[in-house]
Amino acid sequence: MGTEKSIIMGSDHAAFELKEKIKGYLTDKGYSIEDAGTQSAASVNYVDYGKKVAGAVSNGQFSKGILLCGTGLGMSMVANRFSKVRAALCSDIFSAKMSRVHNDSNILVLGGRLVGDVLAFELVQTWLDTPFEGGRHLERIQAIDH
């Protein structure tokens, strides 16, 4: 499994530019980024990249991932089909925080056409810095996973 400072990321063409900016932001903060693609703004099928990231989190290769597409909806739908994946589509700080505190989300999903880079950086940092509360929430997560 990757370290806590190791994250897998993926996006489609609609969020390619934002993925690159977030990747730079995280690299500057000492994170090791595995880029699952895409590598350009040329049109691609978001499903392929969602499966790569969610699969790597599901099988334990990475403890955290970040997915981006135009709205984040498609990536959320793909990722949450994988066992042990709890992908959270967030566009506000409170949701990013609560997705970790109550849901122990392990994939952050962002809409590249919905959030700008400054907000995206804040969402990513909040999500990474917020621990899971455990307790009664752990039972709920275990119910999802079984």
Among 69, 90, 137, 146, which one carries the catalytic annotation?
A: 69
Write down the number of H helices and E strands in the chain. Answer: 6, 5
Please state, in angstroms and rounded to a whole number, the distance separating the CA atoms of residues 11 and 42: 12
Amino acid (1-letter code) at residue 64: K
Name the nearest CA neighbour of 52 among 98, 44, 136.
44
- Read off the DSSP letter of residue 48: H
Q: Please give the Cα distance from 126 to 52 (Å, whole number).
A: 24
69 tagged catalytic? yes
> By the 8 A CB rule, do 70 and 64 touch?
no
Active centre residues (catalytic): 69, 102
